[in-house]
Amino acid sequence: MPTKIHIGADHAGFELKKELIDFLQKKDYEVIDHGAFEYDENDDYPDFIFPVAKEVSLDQHSFGIVIGGSGQGEAIVANRIPGIRAVVFNGQYEPIDGREVPQEIITSRQHNDANVLSLGARFLSIEEAKEAVEMWLDTAFSGDERHIRRINKIDQIGM
């Protein structure tokens, strides 16, 4: 698994980013911070997310974590970069009708080989975010032929 993590956040994810950097460094990950480096409620998330996605696209042995209010816009920015498979996590869905659902944070790695995790800071506690990040980083891509085939098809879109 990659040991280098690129991380970036706008003002909404600023505090969570600081917590996650400390958390990841204590787990011996090399963390590269792409900002924001100070709180500015008027900053724009693409300024911090694009550099994360770009670096991950250039280094297949790294992952990215991007953080915003919902994580949605951040994933949209990251997914504009070829080779990036960014997924949003805002908390595990708990169906009210009794259905069993898989852990989406795990399937994003096992099935999609996601290389950027986009977190919604307004939806997750610090502990929930840490748990999700740890689970995501600890989960390997399955390598199943059907998943490889699908990722290859995604990579061919727009070429």
Active-site amino acid positions: 74, 111
How many other C-beta atoms can be found within 10 angstroms of the C-beta atom of residue 86? 27
DSSP 158: T
Please give the Cα distance from 128 to 144 (Å, whole number): 29
Please give the Cα distance from 158 to 153 (Å, whole number): 10
Q: Is the peptide bond before 36 cis (omega within 30 degrees of 0)?
A: yes
